Structure 1
Amino acid sequence: MKRWLLTGAMVLALPMQAQAFVGISSSTATYQAKAVKSVQATQMQPVLQNAMSKRQSKVSLTYRGNFKDVSGHLREAIEAALRTDEYLTYDYRGYSAEWRGINGSVQIIVTLRYSQTLEQVKYVDAQVKKLAPQIVNATMDAHEKVKAIHDYVVTHTTYDTAMNQAINSPYYALTTGKTLCNGYAMLTYKLLKEAGIPVRLISGEADGIGHVWNLVQLDGQWYHLDTTWDDPLPDKGEISYDYYLLSDAMIAPDHHFKNGGLNQHDLPYPKATTSYENVLRDSGRTGLAQSLEIAANHAKTPEQLTAALTKQLARFEPVVTVAYHGDPAAIKASVQRALATPDVQSAQLAVVEQPRLRGIKTALLNVKYNATLRDVLVEPATLTVGDSPQLKVTALMSNGATFDVTREAKLTSSPNVSVEQGRLLAKSVGTSTVTASFRGQTTANAVTVNPLPKRLYYPLANIASQGTQFNVAPTAEFSFTFDEVVASANVHAMTAYGEAVAVATSTEGNVLRVTPAERYPQGTVYVIAQDVVSVTGKAMQAQSYRITIQ
């Protein structure tokens, strides 16, 4: 296991008070306090909030309330201001205050402390806007953007083993490459925000020491992300994923927190209850799971372990992982059996225990192969206008081996042929290029779209008509009912001129349901279910509707 140097404690904000007035003032405001305590704090808040957003260090106020209420109302106002800006909360380092006067006229001077000056805050904002487009791009989904930003922060930042609190901010992370946990987490926060990823800052204790990290939302679910603890010491440019998108339960053994954070300024933290490992498995993101060193499979016996490793090796995975629930002593022999293949050039084995799987050993293999990835092929290569078949993407290795990468490959559409909801949609006649990318290999696949043999007249030849419906809503659902339970079908829609219309389909027993991917175009549309095969293998009669859109 990697060893970690834990971060230093956050500075707690404790107010000081005196009855002697000190005369320097950077802003002034006068207001009339009311009897209700919270109203008085609310009246004071905008002045302080404005000053803090500008990182002003001195604020002067004339308070027209009772002298004895100053301390409580001042604290409430500052805490309310901090709750409006989470980034400010973690940049804030406390305040002291002095006041004098009589009831109805109390002169207050507040001294505020921050990790960054206004100029440093502006510098960070400008650098984040410049860096974000270099780290992420439009082809990435949210999951890939989070990984790219995590990896950037870890590889471009070093933990200051001297624990110098003066550089514990994102400004020093960017300008010197060295900081503490606050700098890591705040920079991660800024970059994720810029990339459009919902993110929070969270503070608590890690192994008994004050610590800051992040909460990240993906697909509506929240996870813990700790870029500080994912940066190994001594820093050799390595990246760990031990604290990458963990649930509350997974991070709980060494990260302790409660609502409000260390200084009780934070809004309530969202619950993180989802296993990211399960999300990756259920969505078929095997490649992403492997790159994060997250176990793609689980095994309970040596035979299952060997089989799980062999399955991944057959896909030429550069990182192979299996969580083993049996005796760790059996791992080495199972690995040796799986590696008995001419495809493997070399492999390094590590047996690790990760925070997401505490108490369970994971076999982690870094593998080099004799074969290399040659092409990423898209099928089918020939279509007819209006077709929308399910696409398939295959990785072709230099030794002739192939494996399916449909769920992992990145595809780029062309004007004639678009990729929509896992289908190739043939829009117009001609030869187009559909670009497929996987593991750094990009292939331009030629896809030919042929014209219809003749103009379509209704009813369509060899296709049973379910009738014509007029003035149909552009988002209407249609259903086809067959004699037997449907196993597969080619369901598509087109205009009377053969232009493809994207649709979404679902199957419920012997019923096929069809809705437009967005909206049906105005005019006449044919909705067609062809090549319908039942679960018994029976070819069933094709059916169609003719509809006119209102």
Structure 2
Amino acid sequence: MKSYFISYEAFKQKGGSIKTTTITYEELLAVLTMHMERLDKQFSLIINGHLPKPLHQILDDAFEQSHLYKAFYTQHCANRSYRYRSLSKNRVKVDFTLSYRMNRKDEKQMLEEVESVLQHITTPNMSSLQKVIAVHDYIVRTYSYELHTKGSPFSVATFMKEKRGVCMAYALLFEKMMEVLQIPCHYVIGKADGEGDAGHAWNMVEIDGQWYHIDVTWDDIGHVFEHHEIRYRYFLLTDEQIAKNHQWDLDLYPPCTSERFNAMHHLYDVCIAGDLLIYPHSKTAYLTAMDPETLQTKKLADIRVQYCTYANGLVYMVNHSDGATLYTFDVETTELTKCSKDQIHAIKKTSSEVVVMYANGKQEMFEIDTGTDDSERAEQTPEFDEARYTIVSMMSLGDSYLATFNSETDDIPAFKSADGVELYINEPIRQLTVSLELNKGIQLQMTTNRKQVQFKKSAKLVLPLSYIELYIPVIEKQLDKKVTVFDKSISIDVSRSLLIQIKNK
């Protein structure tokens, strides 16, 4: 069906705002979107004018089409109800009650994480296509399809916390990342073969003036095929191509007709290396490179490869032409190097390291050089100048530590216990209460007058080296990642407010 509502953008251009409470039925969708963007739970609207159909049908249509604008917010609306009464012949008051799968705290945390991820996986000089590829690959490699989660599998908050969720979470996260990158994108609701009556969600994205379908969920095949985790079969498709197994209301979305990226649809195990995509050739499995802008390809080496993973200027891969052993390919020099004699089971990449898993169960980690310069490291990891801190004794109660700091002036406190646990605060403050627990991972609470404090600069927790075996396992479980200790110390961003360092005391 064609929408009879005016768009969110058109409503704002004519001066409409959240303060507009008396509207026409054509403006209903835009105003509802504004309220859901604010996560408003209760509000009222007065609808003026003759209605072309019963009011309950207009209201249902508005909610059903709410995903067309600000989908990150409107699709987190979990439940809705309304009641209405006539004020006069052509004047109706409607009272709305809504509930959401996220709150303002969830929203803030998600948006902060999205910004952080995008700073890590994209650069300002990337083209729109390169950014779309980077986001597509990040979501597929980082998250898993799973209906059974602790939180709502439809919520992006659950998705980002548990790294599991369903198509709605995949598509909403992709749409939000595109919005932050200022790349036009739609959240699409429809049906797909094999998805049952529950429906399916995917995206449309605009590149160089042309719209394309992209189904990140269906490109994530790691839960189906053990030896593959990403493909491009549903990456930048036309209407005709995706209509073979997807159905949607064509009247609500722009047409997708360009076949520009057809050559990418057969790719798998792709890694992004600068301006190139590097991958196994679909027929020969030879190491191959493609320029995604021109779609020109070239063979890099006559070896059959798998698990192409790029880091530190090198492509890490399994060489099946040499017993499934670990090789690297230097993108700059084109040099091939054999790195092990043992057979490889898989290669994974996290934000900090490349993890090589061998068939014999052994693992090997290669730390990723993030390119952080010395000045950035100095800001992230403050130097310990004892003179700048006011030292406060910290009481130890088994695995728990407690301390309170009070001062008449703004001082920078450092808390120390008799058994070598130290906590350095790197901003001046007059009153601070600290509660630290280590038995269930790093659980730190910092409060002022019973209100939680979030410092702009990272606090730093220092643990004795002897604590490694005792606490690293629970820290790893908390972070859901492997912790590698280099030179008897680690530095990990735990919660945007804490860095950990382990040292020999």
TM-score, normalised to structure 2, is 0.46
Q: In terms of Rg, which structure is larger?
A: 1
TM-score, normalised to structure 1, is 0.43
